[in-house]
Structure 1
Amino acid sequence: MKFCRLFQNIFLIGSFIPLYGQVSVTASVSHNTVSKSETFSFKIVALNANESPSVDVSPLGSNFKVISGPAQQTNIQWVNGSMTSSRSLSWTLLALQSGRLNIPSLNVRVGSQVYKTNPIGITVEKGLGRAQVANLFIEAKPDKEQIHLGEQVTVTYRLFTRTNLSVESIEYPKTVGFWSEDLLPARTARFNNTQINGVNYKVATLYKSAMFPTQTGKLKVTPMTAICNVEVSQRRRRGVFDDPFFNSMFQETQRKFIESDTLEITVMPYPKSPPADFTGAVGQFSIESWLDTSTVSINEATTLHVSLEGTGNLNQFKLSPFSFPQNMEVFPPTASFQRDEFRDQLTGQQKFEYILIPRQSGSFVINPMVLTYFDPVIDEFKTIKTKPMTLEVNQSMQGTYQPKLSGKENVNIIANDIRFIKTDTKIKLKSNPSSISLWILSPYVLAMSIFLLPSVTGRISHRRASNLDFRNNKGALKVALKDIKKEISDPYSDSSRVLYGYIKAKLYLNTNKLDPLILEQNLKNKISTELLNRVVLLAKICDAGRFSPESSQLKDDIKVEITNLLKDLDRSL
């Protein structure tokens, strides 16, 4: 009897002990036939495993792109007292080329054991695939497919959809062999309605780029890819809720991967050998130059302006340098570029400014600047140039910008300069018996003072705070003349700092980012034109001298020039 009970207890306990089967690893895909633009799921399952599997999927990189994953899942079931477990990893993949592709055998580690999966064959078709692709696609459209070296091609990428969606991520195309500039930068997609062959679509422009080839031949632009979350309706049985009002309650979101076509652009060489002075300019351009003034004195600075306007590969070529006279010091030019934002063609204006300081008197001719460019519209090289300029330099040293060294004068103190008033006079108070005693009025005066003291103190504090800028304005010249004598760094940096600091305090400016252009804008209509030109040119000389101070002979006199300028400014402002 005891033996039967012991056998029964062992049987009952054993029925609740999990019985693990043999560990096995399998691999599978959601579809064996897909289109090139269609994603599919790849899944690895480990049955009866105590631990989650781990696998290296890098061997997939040659034929497939991993869109997302791995996603982990664990499933445990009890059947007749036995436990069956499965642990899985899944990825979303995209085929990189069409044809018959294989997912190779992968090594899967479960605990201390390593298992191999079977290879899986995938057929990738060139067509659009299943129906959802026609409802969602990216169009890549170049404005031309055959261009010359350096000629612009504009590529526009647009997203077409027939369903509601949100764009999760975008991978922009790679342009090997092109120099590119964004015409329409990335931003939130804005959809408009359109039709294609009578079918309604919503379309949004995702990206627009101006591309300039840097080599000849057939160049490829890789596709733009995007991952979108698309709303789709769940299939369900018809019932009482088959009403448009309830349709939104049965929507689900699916992750879709889409990409544009690969573009191939044919880049042709120039029809004939370019001229010797050709520097790579392609497009249509115009150029002009001018001097601020054509008559100056020795050591008096003037500015040479160059303006290059047109449509083409601006910022990708260099202008031929000017031929300046030997007795003229020239600072490196400052350049600026302003692009026309409302045109698909790269159009704009490029400006250069040279500061010139003649060191000898005479008549100097500045030779023209020459630009040779290729015009793709007429397939010919063209040459344009500026007009020659003549600069007259006078011998007189009384120019506006000449150093003016101030001499020292002796100050004589004469004892009789100050006449004192009489000190022996006594002041007598006239007594008035009828006057009220001060001791009687003092309590009233004290009470009134205590009552008015907070109001008076507040007014004084507010007036002092409001007049802080006013005091800085009045003392600007004194502070500037004191600072100009200090040698903190080189003379150009010190002069520039003092000049900008003085004008900031004098004009109540709230910014520290000052340059000659801002000075000209703020001082215009406040001082004479001659003094304004003097301020701007000296500011440019100081800014330019900070980068090449050793090349200018004006270095020793710049502080004297700034001192005289500050005094003249203070008399005018």
Structure 2
Amino acid sequence: MLKKILLPVILLLLLFTSVLASAETIYFKASANKKTVTLSESFIYSVTVSGDSTNLPEYKMDAMPEFNRFGTTVSRSISVVTGKTSMSVTRDYTLGPKKIGKFTIPPAKITFKGKTYLTESVEIEVTPAQSVKSIPVVANRRQLSSQNAAAGKAFVKASINKKTAYENEKLVYKFSFYTNVDLVSNPEYYPPDFSGFWNDGSKPKNHFEVIDGSNYRVDEIETTLYPVGTGLKRILPAKLKIDLMNFSLPSGMNDFFSFFADNGCAGDGETKILETESLEIKIIPLPKDGKPADFYGATGDFEIKAVVDKKDVRINEPVTLTVTVSGSGNMKSISDINFGVYNDFKKYDTIVESTSGNSKKFKTIFIPLVSGEKEIPAASLSFFSPLKKQYETIKTSSQKIIVSGMSLHTEENVEDKLKIDIMHKDINYNKRIKTLKLYRGYLIEKPVFYLIFVPFIMLFILSVCYAVYMRRVSRNPFKKLKTLSFAEVQKLVKEAENRISENNFEASLDLLYQALIEIINIETGTKSDNLQKNQIIGNLRKKNADDEKIIEIIKMLERFDFYKFASVNLDKDSINALLINVETLILSFKK
């Protein structure tokens, strides 16, 4: 009895194992390019999704209160090996710490076909910003403070544009060097330790100023800072090492800040160390009331505008929307923009095209799916305005475009649909099956019989019904029409082979795409050129196409879309793999 039960159980296990083996598998991982960073540094947090599918799930980063997000880049790669396509998508997030300590970035999470995938958590240690190196000074030379230097006609000042500011608000630290004496060599500037601030770079400038009747040359360095964290912050003194000679500027010395590339000039002088006062700034947190759901840390005062690269397009022709954010604030903290509902379009990932001091450009590709006058939705940005002391959301105007191409709801399509229904009834003839008399012997006395053998009986009945159905289809005149149509498809495939031999891969891609569309047209009995994927699936299922064939067709359509719109160069191996897939599909539908 045990042997009689064991064999069917093994067969069932083998059946279920084969089904599981054929399922698409994806891989999900996260990593950081640094394990330890200082408070003034940034690091790259990378999330990669890969697998045997061209329809990978999109990862959305959750809010991270311990870090600022400065930008996002997306990269894709695709490979085709022996007809099997695999794809990988990597998102790199530039993050900056808000405070010192050890932090754990929690596991990233995505869902694919009902299954949840988690990455490993990532550990990041944030240390204080590196302090300024000690200043080398000759021991036997007199060192003066900034007050004494003022009497010697050379002194320094430090200032900041605000004493109280919000977290991530733009601050400008200014170091000023006043002099009306000759210098033996170029000065050496030692900036303060900007610990607790994000340093966005410095720029020099100079001018002349009259103080107490004396004319001074003033050289300045302005450093843009963004406070990280809240509380009272202190900027330590900046220092400047100079060698004084006499009371006139040397001829030819036009730019004090060229000292970074000069070793000095001949002559001796008195070495002095000039030092500024330390500065204190109170950093207050952003208010919690009125914070928009799509606020990600942008602080400043911004404007936003959008423009499309074309106004008249055809269905499935890409449209590039460029969104420019400009204004005063931390552009690096603007990591993404938001869009409204876009039902009539397929949207690709938004990428950062460029970032300058006062502006940032984003590019997004939209694919129109429906003909007519359509609107690309408005882009929006939420930020906190320190000037108005409140949150604001700004939007672009929606972009109107004219989409041409075959409409999905014309009278011609309605007539075609009626024809499809009639043909469906003709082909789908179901023969009534008489009631079966079940065997009443020893085998069915045990309940395990129903668990093991009933599925096999059902499979056998379905196989017989399918064989009868295919036999009737082969006698139908419509089957002969399909045979003639497949001859035209094979001509397209043959022409594609010729183009491949000439290394004209783009032309061969178009021919193979036409062949694939013709296969769908033949199988569904209607034009499918401008239909969406869900409509194609519905038409194929009405014609009782196998799920395996439907999945293969959708995969191939996605693969063609990828080669059309992604920045991927076609090679001979990739186009040959597509050729083999189309030929295999022809054979499967002709059976």
Q: TM-score, normalised by structure 1?
A: 0.42
Larger Rg: 1
